[in-house]
Amino acid sequence: MFTNTHKTSNDPLNWYWFDKGFSIEEIQRIEEYAQQLPRLKGTIGDSESAAEERKSVIRWIYRNPEADWLYAKMISMVDIANENLWQFDMFSANEAIQYTEYYDNGGHYDWHIDMSAGYPLNQRKISMTVQLSDESEYDGGNFEIMRGREVEQLPKGKGNVVIFPSYLLHRITPVTRGVRKSLVLWLGGASFK
């Protein structure tokens, strides 16, 4: 289940991944649950006018008895990655899980980081994404991350999980066929020291 392509511990530009960290049955359960939730336009912060930078549809999966298993599984994976690579001081997952869909109408998310000054007591430190679509179901939609000056395309594959520091630049390239679906969760802690 686990694969880590970069073995050095405490590497601030490193990322971690689980090959098929979620089963087909778990993904089906997530999809069925998410389809009941309200669809919203993906935004950047509070801005509604971000179409050039981001074009997606999102749904929020809030903590509740039906989603507790999902939060527990995602947080435990982040704990493993953090213990093996960064050892960040972590204490929270206060934000909801974001279910995201990128369609072949130009769906994308340009280069960005996941940190914000708006949460001083819960600074995002680690970001996590779970791939819900099989790579045969869409073209484009590459998840790329910037490690220093190097751009890396991260592993595609239904059920794959990628975990990385929230301060790393990353993007989803435009989807040209089909739909790319994923989950995103951010975990935080006190300010970096």
Residue 30: which of 58, 63, 70 has the closest Cα?
70
Structural domain containing residue 161? 2-189
Quote the CA–CA distance of 56 and 173 in Å, as a whole number.
Answer: 12
Tens digits of per-residue pLDDT, 110-151?
A: 999 888 665 555 688 999 999 999 999 999 999 999 988 889
Which CATH number characterizes residue 37's domain?
A: 2.60.120.620
Q: How far is CA 137 from the centre of its chain?
A: 19
Assessment of whether the complete model's pTM goes beyond 0.95: no
Annotate 4-73 with DSSP letters as a single string: -S---TT-TT--EEETT-S-HHHHHHHHHHHTTSPPEE--BTTBS--TTTEE-EEEEE--STTTHHHHHH
- Tell me, what's the pLDDT at 90? 84
Residue 76, helix vs strand vs coil: helix
Tens digits of per-residue pLDDT, 28-61?
A: 999 999 999 999 887 765 555 565 788 999 999 9
Total count of domains within the chain: 1
